[in-house]
Structure 1
Amino acid sequence: MTTLAPEAVTTAELAPARYAPLLDTVEVAVLADGTDAAWSLDGTGPGVRVLRIDAPGAAVEVRLTVPLGDAAGYWHPGADWRRTLVADWEGRATVSLADSLAAGCLYDSTGATLLTFATADPVPEVSLRYGVSEENDTHVVHLHLPPADQPHRLLFVPRAASVAGALRPLRGWYAARTDPMPVPEAARLPLWCTWYAYNQDVDAIEVTEQARIAAELGFGALILDDGWQRYGSGRGYAGVGDWIPDGAKFPDFAGHVAVVRETGLRYLAWIAPLLLGPNADCHAAWAPYATRAAGVPGAHVLDPRHPEVRAHVVDTCVRVVRDYGLDGLKVDFLDEAMVYAHDGGEDVGRALLLLLADLRTALEAVRPELLLELRQPYVGPAMAAFGNMLRSFDCPADSTANRVRTLDTALLATGGVVHSDPLLWDAGAPVEAAARQLIGALHSVPQVSVRLDTLPAEHLDALRFWLAEWRRLRPQLLEGAVEPGRPDEQYTLVESVADGVRVVDVHTERAVPVRPAEHTETVLVNGSTADRIVLDLQGVQLPVEITVHGPDGRIIERVQTTFAPGLRSLRVPRTGLVKIRGNA
């Protein structure tokens, strides 16, 4: 009997490789099928450098090593809460088009980067090992790239002052090579969703009433989430696959959609087209193509590597949009296809690329102003070609998670627009609870999922105020130059600037640098638990007008004063904001 050698516990236990200087203090070793491979580094200056590896048809391993120096954290698209340093025996990931991206950024205690890299092709399945090498006092990243006919390419960015600053040129590199979906105006307006408000207990009467109120509040679109389809109850997925409306909940689904659209809202419906449950009428026909269980209860996953599956998914989605008059779809659980990764068959990412390209073409033929929502973790640079609404992963009632995840997504978003996970809060809580959720979604299109007709008046005032402020500041929040700071600090001070207006949201007690002479308006949002914001005033002495709003939008104070350099404390209620305008 043959005994397989166990995988090395740490990277230091792997067979030695020949390293060479690459960029800054980064060194690289490149192996093709276990032997040294030829490589070259193209590009100079502060922009993106391209590492080219010529090893046609061979599996390639790229080893990167960096002296630890003052390293403080390691960010990657799938980091979630693990964004500090980990040991190299712990850091593992498998990524592809449908699940994150082979990219990472090592940074020090000042926030400056020590290593920034990404694969040029975000589609194939890539395995990574990363972390601190305890034996060598270094941080390492090992990438295992599958065989390819074309040269492999890795992207690198020289040291930058921040993670956001380092990822900006990477984002630009991808954007220049991507054909993004057009983004209709409805994708850039606040959206109301049924999920947290109703879960699967939805029906036409309730949704129509919520849509009426949402339209009056300034929402632009509505998502009917899980529960509209037959067998859509019980929080399981044993009945999915047919994608036919539940007649008891929606006796005339197309008519209901038309009524909602008359309010001015665009209408999307949830669908998980790769899931197949045993109770679906189509189960017998498609079970041979769904041989592995999903990570969600009750369902298996259709294997997108089969052309028949891809055609079936496209036909199903087109039928749902066309027959019921929808403006688009919320496409869920695409990442479940990764259960077929590394099984010896074709690449899952490549198959999903074919599927999504066909899906976009077919749906746009039916709806030229198509709205298509994708969700973390499948919101990487390549997905801008297939979705124009890129949503944060589920985080009910967690404003911090919404802030962190939407900013993470935006760091490498090359098209579309980033959306928050639907906001949920307790209607019986103080108004600050509602405002805090809205503040957590500032740097994305806010989705909301509360029952609007049961909110107390103060909560409705807060919702109306913050949505209005968000629309006013949308150029700064969505298109401005954004600097969120260190990832491991959870982006507690986020700055965005455009058109002479600076917006800063602060989520902990700290001094906020303010340079009022440099901007026509400065908006400071108090996301902390203190009823004040401490300003670190910089620049020349300047007369200003200050307007302080409470969490529900009420003006608490409006005064004219003079700012002089130094520290100054402003009374701003928690979850309120202050507007500072020059008054020279």
Structure 2
Amino acid sequence: MKRFDIDVDGVKMGVTLNTEGDVIVRKKEIQEGHFKVVNFDVVSKRGNFILKEFKVNTRFPILDVHGISIPGELNNPFFFILPWRFEVTASFNRSFPFLSLINREGTNRFAIGLGDSKIGFKMVGKFIEKTEEFEINISSINRFEGKSFSNSIFVTTTSISWFELTDEYSNHIYNLREPLPDFMYSPVYCTWYAFYQNLDQKCLERVAKKASEMGFEIFILDDGWFTLDTNRGYWYTGDWEVCRDKFPDFKYHVKKVKNYGLKYVLWIAPFMLGTKSKEFDFYKKYCVSSREELGYKNLCPQSMPIKERIIEKMKRLLLDYDLDGFKIDFLDDIPPEVCQNNEHNHFTENPAEGIEEVLSSIKSLGKSVKKYLILEFRQMYASPQMKRFATAFRAADTPFDFDQNRRRILVLRSFSGKLPVYSDPIVWRKGEKPYNISRHFISAIFGVPMVSVDLLNLSEVEERVMRFWLRFYRENRDVLNFGKLYPDFSSGECTSAYAVKDEKAVVALYSVPYFDLDRIDTKEIYILNGSNRDDVTLKGKKFLGASVEVLDPIDGIRKLSKSFKGCEIINVGKGNVIHITK
């Protein structure tokens, strides 16, 4: 048993390493930005050693603490509440080990994170009523065996926003220094909510043509391309062969869609094996877990034959059909615990290492076939470490709910860096009010808009609103993706957000219909009214005399008769835009 302590501004942490074997522990503390980083190595004196458990324990006084940011968890569920107790599992393919105790303004009071999550961790927090403290325990899930083990502990009590702090932590783990090619940040069309598994080659080719005309540049063929079954289960996954009844000539189909100027991306869940797939009987001995109610099992990522099988099938799809990428799904469904199935051999110590091997091979495969392969990862397995492999993170499924889409996009933006963040596909029911369609796009504006409606059956108004927002996004893509992003939080909710780059700013109002323009020093501002009010109150001496116009997605531009007076209530209308220029 080895132990060492960490002290950051009077907050004490104990680190325990339960080892079997003769080891030496070396640690070094350095200051990296706002974080104290404790790098440590456990090294065997002879042969291999076993690290049975790695634990970190600390307590923090409940002073100006009103919530917890755990950005790796879906919906960041404790933003506005301090729970009696929570327990979170963080591993390489599910969440990530970082949290911040925050106040009502979203300002950090105490944050802690780990550098490498491959052995998997449980993060447990709870009230200690007697001492009026909040206790945090982080403990490893899997043991480690080898000659050396390394990790890093990130700690800070700096008072900055949880958003900025998460971004800084993420860039310590992996920093994507340069943006990806422009097309990676282009609007995306996805088939899922529009058609689910009811796919037809000729219909989708007409949809793709329309998508190209409307300004989309990426086309995602979602689940259903490999089976006639439309019962929303996964019984036939795993063979990954195109269903000829739906796509009589898939190679021609992909070529035709690409000729419209679209990148073609295919949905795949590489570790999924349907119980009715042709190869199920042969590969069932390689399974590590199952979802019987949905008709599939998960293949073991620690097995070399499974790694080879996945790469071979994805390579065949890429080469046979000249695809531009994959929408990779269900990675979070792989359990973090070491596989206990004795029917097959393992080539890695734990599942995370196996998944990492597979993703590295997919990335290498992409580079050998395409200069840039699109790889979309869903929110549940988006993390700082996954920035090494993904080319885009996507907000988790939230059909029809633009508020939830907004929340999820902004949480993803806190650690995505320069990686594109796709909205969950924007979808609305036929007959939806135009201003609600606009609010879908306003809520997704700080991500890359992904849409999934039947483009062939849009009303004139729906199409005009949609074209307006796609054009707005394209014209302001630079500031929206690469500008400095400032989300405003109050009581655990994002009430507004704005991005600034060079001489332009884009402001989105959500639950508040007012904004102080003096917060921004630019020559041009767009203010998007995603609130429930038609009137928006603006004040700011910096923009005295500036010209004001209202942009309506349906009616076009309506110029106001007078210049900005410094404090005005503007009747902009729900879902519309105020444009102010000096």
1:390 Cα shift? Answer: 1.0
Aligned to 1:43: 30
Assess, with a 3 A threshold, how the Cα gap between structure 1 residues 19 and 234 changes in structure 2: closer, same or farther. Answer: same
Pairing 1:61-210 to 2, within 5 Å after superposition = 61-76=55-70, 77-80=72-75, 82-84=77-79, 90-145=85-140, 146-147=142-143, 149-176=148-175, 183-210=180-207
Q: Distance in 1 between matches of 2:339 and 2:9?
A: 34
Matched, 1:353 2:356: yes
Aligned to 2:46: none
Is contact 2:5-2:12 (8 Å) kept? yes
Residue 137 of structure 1 aligns with an amino acid whose one-letter code is E
1:27 to 4, 7, 12: 12
1:548 to 539, 544, 550: 550
Is contact 1:553-1:576 (8 Å) kept? no
Aligned to 2:480: 477
Assess, with a 3 A threshold, how the Cα gap between structure 1 residues 414 and 524 changes in structure 2: closer, same or farther. Answer: closer
Is contact 1:96-1:123 (8 Å) kept? yes
1:54 Cα shift? Answer: 4.7
Q: Distance in 2 between matches of 1:553 and 1:73?
A: 43
Aligned to 1:302: 299
Q: Distance in 1 between matches of 2:69 and 2:553?
A: 33
Residue 151 of structure 1 aligns with an amino acid whose one-letter code is S
Assess, with a 3 A threshold, how the Cα gap between structure 1 residues 517 and 64 changes in structure 2: closer, same or farther. Answer: closer
1:41 Cα shift? Answer: 6.3
Assess, with a 3 A threshold, how the Cα gap between structure 1 residues 309 and 494 changes in structure 2: closer, same or farther. Answer: same
Aligned to 2:270: 273
Pairing 1:11-22 to 2, within 5 Å after superposition = 22=7
Aligned to 1:12: none
SS at match of 1:362: helix
Aligned to 1:417: 420
SS at match of 2:428: coil
Deviations 1:297-336 (A, max 9, x none): 0000001110111111111111112112211111111111
1:422 Cα shift? Answer: 0.6
Aligned to 2:394: 391
Size of the aligned set, in residue pairs, is 560
TM-score for the superposition, normalised by structure 1? 0.90
Assess, with a 3 A threshold, how the Cα gap between structure 1 residues 85 and 573 changes in structure 2: closer, same or farther. Answer: closer
Assess, with a 3 A threshold, how the Cα gap between structure 1 residues 85 and 131 changes in structure 2: closer, same or farther. Answer: farther
Assess, with a 3 A threshold, how the Cα gap between structure 1 residues 29 and 189 changes in structure 2: closer, same or farther. Answer: same
Matched, 1:322 2:319: yes
Aligned to 1:500: 503
> Larger deviation: 193-202 or 341-350?
341-350
Matched, 1:486 2:489: yes
SS at match of 1:300: strand
> Larger deviation: 70-79 or 524-533?
70-79
> Larger deviation: 149-158 or 40-49?
40-49
Is contact 1:111-1:163 (8 Å) kept? yes
SS at match of 2:184: helix
Is contact 2:486-2:499 (8 Å) kept? yes
Calculate percent identity across the aligned residue pairs: 25
1:511 Cα shift? Answer: 3.1
Is contact 2:164-2:414 (8 Å) kept? no
Unmatched 5+ residue regions in structure 2?
44-49
Q: Distance in 1 between matches of 2:208 and 2:412?
A: 28
Assess, with a 3 A threshold, how the Cα gap between structure 1 residues 339 and 113 changes in structure 2: closer, same or farther. Answer: closer
Is contact 2:14-2:58 (8 Å) kept? yes
Q: Name the Cα RMSD after superposition.
A: 2.6
2:534 to 521, 531, 536: 531
2:464 to 461, 476, 484: 461
1:540 Cα shift? Answer: 4.7
Is contact 2:79-2:492 (8 Å) kept? no
Residue 557 of structure 1 aligns with an amino acid whose one-letter code is K
SS at match of 1:97: coil
Is contact 1:25-1:66 (8 Å) kept? no
1:479 Cα shift? Answer: 0.9
SS at match of 2:219: strand
> Larger deviation: 148-157 or 461-470?
148-157
Q: Distance in 2 between matches of 1:89 and 1:32?
A: 28
1:91 Cα shift? Answer: 0.7
Aligned to 1:13: none
Aligned to 1:406: 409
Q: Return the structure number with greater strand share.
A: 2
1:353 Cα shift? Answer: 0.6
Residue 311 of structure 2 aligns with an amino acid whose one-letter code is V
Residue 275 of structure 1 aligns with an amino acid whose one-letter code is M
TM-score for the superposition, normalised by structure 2? 0.90
Residue 475 of structure 1 aligns with an amino acid whose one-letter code is D
Q: Distance in 1 between matches of 2:364 and 2:373?
A: 10
Is contact 1:116-1:167 (8 Å) kept? no
